[in-house]
Amino acid sequence: MTEPTSTAPGPSGLVEPAAAPAGRAAAFFDVDNTIIRGASAFHLAVGLYRRGFFRKWDIVTFAIHQSRYLMFGENHKQIDEVRDKGLSIMTGHSVAEVVAIAEDIYDEVLSLRIFPGTQKLLDDHLAAGHEVWLITATPVEIGELIARRLGVTGALGTIAEHEDGFYTGHLVGDMLHGKAKASAVRELAERENLDLTASYAYGDSTNDVPILSEVGFPCAINPDRRLRRHAQTVGWPVREFRGRRRVARRSANLASLAGLAWVAGLVVRTIRRSARL
């Protein structure tokens, strides 16, 4: 783990959890690329694919999204595409089945992709007596699973509608993303009597600016280019846990190229198999 970098003044350039003012404080963490390297939904999709949930062409879509995400960060169009594809894939499957598979995927993959620096931040906040919440666009069942495994207070996530324990293919409300995250945090703070001015938020993308703007102590973790530029403009601290920025860019490029190569291989094999039929 490299030393954190910062663009804001303060003790060592950063505000530590112990420095929060008196009050009932909380820390809100985005998940993808903030706690876990890459997109958790992609790894879930791979696990579901291996268990026969959907076709190669579906995993190709998720793999292309993962490669774009590692290279360029999030954008609304990609998020909408993945949401629609994910909802169609999950239709008719049971919640219990998906959660059980997600447990295995956490043990096999996600637990190995947690940034040690972010893990320490989580632990520091818990040790300081703060509530720690994961705020993620990932389905709430998956967010809650990750929260349980990390030993934090809880999670807010996108709610996929289900009836009699089976997914319907529709959402309840909006996808928990962007401004929806900020609204959810305000509602949570009111319900749990949390002081947002004494609280912290961590995110990696410009889509996290709304939630970062809600708290007294925002911090960009592994930020994309736009969030890094915004953080520098407004004076938010920045922490980089992917390695030094030059190494981080090279790693992201290699990961993206590897992902695209894997996708190309899948496409070629699928076309060849179709041609033989």
- Which structural domain range is residue 173 located in? 22-276
Q: Which domain CATH number covers 160?
A: 3.40.50.1000
31-46 burial: b if 16+ Cβ within 10 Å, else e: bbbbbbbbbbbbbbbb
Residue 246 belongs to a domain: yes
Q: What is the mean pLDDT of residues 86-110?
A: 82
Out of 37-41, 91-95, 137-141, pick the least confident: 91-95
pLDDT for residue 23: 58
108-132 burial: b if 16+ Cβ within 10 Å, else e: ebbeeebbebbeebbeebbebebbb
For the question of residue 80 being annotated catalytic, the response is: no
The one catalytic residue among 32, 204, 208, 224 = 32
What is the spatial distance between Cα 248 and Cα 264, in angstroms, rounded to a whole number? Answer: 24
Dump pLDDT digits (tens) for 192-221: 999 999 999 999 999 999 999 999 999 999
Residue 190 belongs to a domain: yes
The one catalytic residue among 30, 204, 208, 224 = 30
Q: Hunting for tokens 């695209």 — which residue is that?
A: 260
In percent, how much of the chain has pLDDT > 70?
65
What is the spatial distance between Cα 103 and Cα 116, in angstroms, rounded to a whole number? Answer: 20
What is the spatial distance between Cα 238 and Cα 251, in angstroms, rounded to a whole number? Answer: 19
Dump pLDDT digits (tens) for 115-162: 999 999 999 999 999 999 999 988 888 899 999 999 999 999 988 887
Is the separation of the CB atoms in 121 and 205 below 8 Å? no
Residue 241 has pLDDT above 50, yes or no: yes
Residue 252 belongs to a domain: yes
Q: Nearest CA to 37 among 243, 227, 208, 184?
A: 243
Q: Who has greater pLDDT, 274 or 171?
A: 171
Residue 2 belongs to a domain: no
Residue 17 has pLDDT above 90, yes or no: no
Q: What is the total count of domains within the chain?
A: 1
Residue 5 belongs to a domain: no
CA 204 to mean position of chain CA atoms:
9
For the question of residue 208 being annotated catalytic, the response is: no
Residue 208 belongs to a domain: yes
What is the spatial distance between Cα 11 and Cα 15, in angstroms, rounded to a whole number? Answer: 7
Dump pLDDT digits (tens) for 51-65: 777 666 665 665 565
Q: What is the pLDDT confidence band of residue 42, given thresholds at 50, 70 and 90?
A: confident
Residue 265 belongs to a domain: yes
Q: What is the mean pLDDT of residues 77-96?
A: 63
Residue 257 belongs to a domain: yes
Distances (CA, A) of 179 to 97, 107, 236: 31, 31, 19
